[in-house]
Amino acid sequence: MGPFLSRRQLLLLAGTGLLTACAPSPRRRLALPAGQLPKPWLQRLPGDWGVEPWKLQATATPPSGAALLALSDGWATGLPASSFAPWPAGPASEGLLPQAEALRPWGLPVGFGPWLLVLRDRFDLVGDSWQLLLDPSLRGQLLLPASARLVIEIAKRIGEPAEVLPRLRRQALGFNDRDALTLLLNGDAQAAVLPSGAVLPLLNRDSRLRALLPREGSVLWWSLLLLPRRGGVLPPTDWLLAPRQSPLLDQLLRAGFTPPLQRQKLAAALARQRFSELLLPPEPLLARCSTLLPASEAERQAATVLWNGSTP
């Protein structure tokens, strides 16, 4: 073993910058809330990238120094556009569904799906319409999303919102996204409106559950990658394109996470999935689905008036 360096020699080396040059470079960080991207994809990040958990509060402040962010469409579009750099055109932005293009001003859409009507042990309820939510037997047994705007969108698909919304709210046991699935599984509720990504992985394992994409269409949820305006770094193209190929593509679909690619690019992998019509709805049904883009001030005021006027 060679001689140890004295403290004085170490200080001299530090002054020359040689120690810094030998030190490993800091890892680039992808900051994201828990569950925002599927684990099999995250595990393929290159070795010089790391994952930073991001606990969202009332306002989403991007972590300092993050090179890349992953967020849902609701959080992403609620942040100032000045926070992000435009996602450049390239291989990862080619071949996207037309529905994904509306979100390109914020970042790169990488996963999506519909909000679903989910029933537990209610095989007696027959139909494929949002009208099922108004069935008298579901009074006090229904969990609705925490987003008032999303609930209003569902009411619009049932009928005249000013008439439907009070009835829908009277049906509700509560308005909750975070705990709704647990309450449903525990038998504390018989119906819930949930994102497909939370439900589809369970359908093969839990015969008590049934998920419907109503014929009126639904609201779509999205996962996006975003580049911070300061310090943003594009991840390697190979990593961005990995979800387009099996076996990773099959893993993502089984997790309820559908890359928003044109149908022909997903057809072979979808054919291997039991609930393919919920992963990528048939074209006529997908055309009746919508994305909640930022509302104008007039739209926000109208929604507030409608919501406040529908209090049971």
Per DSSP, what are the bridge partners of residue 117?
A: 193, 212
CATH code of residue 100: 3.40.190.10
Q: Is 93 helix (H, G, I), strand (E, B) or coil?
A: helix
* Per-residue pLDDT, 22: 44
The b/e string for 203-237 (b: 16+ C-beta within 10 A; e otherwise) is beeeeebbbbbbebbbbbbbbbbbbbeeebebbee
Read off the pLDDT of each residue in 237-256 and give the average, rounded to a whole number: 97
Q: Which has the closest alpha carbon to 40: 201, 261, 199, 185?
A: 201
Encode pLDDT of 264-281 as tens digits. 999 999 999 999 999 999
> Is it the case that residue 4 has pLDDT exceeding 80?
no
The boundaries of the domain holding residue 88 are 28-112+221-280
* Per-residue pLDDT, 56: 80
Q: In Å, what is the CA distance from 188 to each residue of 11, 170, 210, 263, 268?
A: 65, 17, 16, 38, 39
> Is it the case that residue 18 has pLDDT exceeding 80?
no
Encode pLDDT of 196-217 as tens digits. 999 999 998 999 999 999 999 9
Q: Is residue 46 located within the same domain as residue 105? A: yes
Residues 6+ apart with CB under 8 A from 14: 20
Q: Is residue 62 located within the same domain as residue 124? A: no
Q: Is residue 260 located within the same domain as residue 228? A: yes
Residue 95's region, left for phi above 0, alpha for psi from -120 to 50, else beta, is left
Say how many domains are in the chain.
2
Read off the pLDDT of each residue in 24-33 and give the average, rounded to a whole number: 79
> Is it the case that residue 9 has pLDDT exceeding 60?
no
Per DSSP, what are the bridge partners of residue 280?
A: none
Read off the pLDDT of each residue in 289-299 and give the average, rounded to a whole number: 94
Q: Is residue 239 located within the same domain as residue 209? A: no
Q: What is the mean pLDDT of the chain?
A: 90
Range scoring the smallest mean pLDDT among 64-68, 118-122, 210-214, 220-224: 64-68
Read off the pLDDT of each residue in 112-128 and give the average, rounded to a whole number: 96
Cβ distance 223 to 38 under 8 Å?
no
Considering the domain boundaries, does residue 209 fall inside one? yes
Read off the pLDDT of each residue in 217-246 and give the average, rounded to a whole number: 96
Q: Is residue 183 located within the same domain as residue 298? A: yes
* Per-residue pLDDT, 12: 42
185 vs 208: CA distance, rounded Å: 9
Binned at pLDDT 50, 70 and 90, residue 19 comes out as very low
Considering the domain boundaries, does residue 12 fall inside one? no
Q: Is residue 197 located within the same domain as residue 302? A: yes
Q: In Å, what is the CA distance from 294 to each residue of 146, 158, 177, 299?
A: 17, 23, 20, 9
Read off the pLDDT of each residue in 134-146 and give the average, rounded to a whole number: 97
> Is it the case that residue 24 has pLDDT exceeding 60?
no
Considering the domain boundaries, does residue 180 fall inside one? yes
* Per-residue pLDDT, 178: 84
* Per-residue pLDDT, 276: 97
Q: H or E element: which one contains 32?
A: strand 28-32
> Is it the case that residue 101 has pLDDT exceeding 80?
yes
Q: Is residue 272 located within the same domain as residue 225? A: yes
Binned at pLDDT 50, 70 and 90, residue 26 comes out as low
46 vs 237: CA distance, rounded Å: 11
Considering the domain boundaries, does residue 18 fall inside one? no
Residue 191's region, left for phi above 0, alpha for psi from -120 to 50, else beta, is beta
User: Apex CA 176: angle with CA 179 and CA 295, to 5°?
Assistant: 140
Binned at pLDDT 50, 70 and 90, residue 60 comes out as low
Torsion, Cα 8 14 19 20, to 10 degrees, reads 160
> Is it the case that residue 23 has pLDDT exceeding 60?
no
Considering the domain boundaries, does residue 120 fall inside one? yes
Per DSSP, what are the bridge partners of residue 72?
A: 223
* Per-residue pLDDT, 235: 96
* Per-residue pLDDT, 2: 43
| pTM listed for this prediction | 0.89
Considering the domain boundaries, does residue 191 fall inside one? yes
Considering the domain boundaries, does residue 10 fall inside one? no
> Is it the case that residue 10 has pLDDT exceeding 70?
no
Q: Is 158 helix (H, G, I), strand (E, B) or coil?
A: helix
Binned at pLDDT 50, 70 and 90, residue 59 comes out as low
Q: Is residue 303 located within the same domain as residue 164? A: yes
Which residue carries 């893993």 as its tokens? 251
Cβ distance 248 to 242 under 8 Å?
yes
Q: Is residue 125 located within the same domain as residue 214? A: yes
Q: Is residue 93 located within the same domain as residue 240? A: yes
* Per-residue pLDDT, 78: 85
Q: Is residue 93 located within the same domain as residue 206? A: no
- Residue 127's Cβ-side half-sphere holds a number of Cα atoms within 13 Å equal to 10
150 vs 145: CA distance, rounded Å: 7
Q: Is residue 191 located within the same domain as residue 85? A: no
Binned at pLDDT 50, 70 and 90, residue 54 comes out as confident
Considering the domain boundaries, does residue 257 fall inside one? yes
> Is it the case that residue 189 has pLDDT exceeding 60?
yes
